[in-house]
Amino acid sequence: MQRCGGVRVKGASTPRTRAPICRALPQEKKAMYSGTSVSPPTEGKHFLHLDDFTREELLDMLERGAYAKKKFYARDESFKPFAGRTMAMIFTKPSARTRVSFETIGKREPTKDIARVLSGYNDVIMARLFGHDDLMELAQYSSVPVINGLTDYNHPCQIMADVLTITEVKGRFEGVKVAYVGDGNNMVHSFLRLAARIPYEFVCICPPGYEPDADTVALAKAAGVSDVTVTSDRNAVRGADVIYTDVWASMGQKDTLEKKMRDFAIYQVNEDLMALAGPQCTFMHCLPAERGLETVDAVMESKASVVFQQAENRMHAQNGIMLHCLA
């Protein structure tokens, strides 16, 4: 059993790459990225944004993930869909659940060259980067599927794990109300782009000045699939099936934490906010959590919290993504 990009992959062999390669250059955020604008791999599909796929394709990935989870718990050693496959993992951003590297794409050689070299060694590439433009260039020149492990713009793998978790806990995802409380960051962009494909109610509750990318909000609303709201009113959590939060200052933004602690003080997900949502509300966090800031122990460790089930489902959801993308 090997961990690949935060996913334990049954039957995968060790990637035939030496040092993972990274880039640490934050780039200007863009709103209207589309995976359909890059060259497709020779076989399979890239996984860059949730709305690059149809509703049916997203549900297929989730079904495959749920099936892989059943096989994992059954300890079915005959289930080895990745046997003989290799994965290259590229890191800019560190993660407690993935291997860490500090080298730089584009410093030794261009991203497009790296893409073509790694494509010759591996069946799939997972990249966890700062700049979304780097991800797009990587996919453009890769002949194998590229999976978005996270960028400053979005984090689609996490959202797929969240949808799997909500489905397990609530018995459904379509039609639920998800209230995100905090910074309008890459998590929010992913929820918004999901809202363009699968119908649910999404409310982003953030302090003034911390709203998500306006074009991405417009994209989600224009799709006419989901009910999407961006507000600074904490009362918008009322009736939520899920309250979701993230750290106030993401990687590379820690110098802004002092100001954010003032601006976000009333947006902490604490017992009072959970009570305002109602007894039906489940608490979720993509981790790592800054306990005492965006949330508190009394919520993290409560019966309403499913953060560790959510964390485990990263493995299963990502297996489903890889099964789909590798065709």
Q: DSSP assignment of 212-264, as one string?
A: PPHHHHHHHHHHTSSEEEEES-GGGGTT-SEEEE--SS-TT-GGGHHHHHHHT
Nearest-angstrom CA–CA distance, 321 and 69:
13
Classify residue 120: in a domain, yes or no. yes
CA angle 1/65/80 to nearest 5° reads 35
Same domain, yes or no: 184 and 133? no
Burial of 283 (C-beta count, 10 Å sphere; 0-12/13-18/19+): buried
Same domain, yes or no: 213 and 71? no
Same domain, yes or no: 206 and 296? yes
Same domain, yes or no: 141 and 204? no
> Mind listing the pLDDT tens digit for each residue in 173-187?
999 999 999 999 999
Same domain, yes or no: 320 and 266? no
Same domain, yes or no: 67 and 187? no
Q: DSSP assignment of 153-178, as one string?
A: S--HHHHHHHHHHHHHHHS--TT-EE
Same domain, yes or no: 79 and 187? no
Same domain, yes or no: 107 and 90? yes
Q: What is the pLDDT of residue 253?
A: 67
Nearest-angstrom CA–CA distance, 147 and 139:
9
Classify residue 17: in a domain, yes or no. no
Classify residue 235: in a domain, yes or no. yes
CATH number for the domain including 118?
3.40.50.1370
Q: What is the pLDDT of residue 100?
A: 28
Report residues of the chain scoring pLDDT below 70.
1-31, 94-109, 251-254
Q: What is the pLDDT of residue 108?
A: 55
pTM listed for this prediction: 0.86
Nearest-angstrom CA–CA distance, 145 and 52:
14
Same domain, yes or no: 99 and 125? yes
Nearest-angstrom CA–CA distance, 1 and 294:
34
Same domain, yes or no: 112 and 167? no
Classify residue 7: in a domain, yes or no. no
Which tokens hold the place of 215? 């074009």
> Mind listing the pLDDT tens digit for each residue in 247-295?
998 766 667 889 999 999 999 999 999 999 999 999 999 999 999 999 9
Classify residue 3: in a domain, yes or no. no
Same domain, yes or no: 149 and 163? no
Classify residue 10: in a domain, yes or no. no
Q: What is the pLDDT of residue 24?
A: 36
Classify residue 263: in a domain, yes or no. yes
Q: What is the pLDDT of residue 85?
A: 94
Q: What is the pLDDT of residue 138?
A: 96
Same domain, yes or no: 223 and 175? yes
Catalytic residue positions, numbered: 286
The structural domain count of the chain equals 2
Classify residue 75: in a domain, yes or no. yes
Q: What is the pLDDT of residue 137?
A: 96
Domain encompassing residue 196: 156-250+257-311
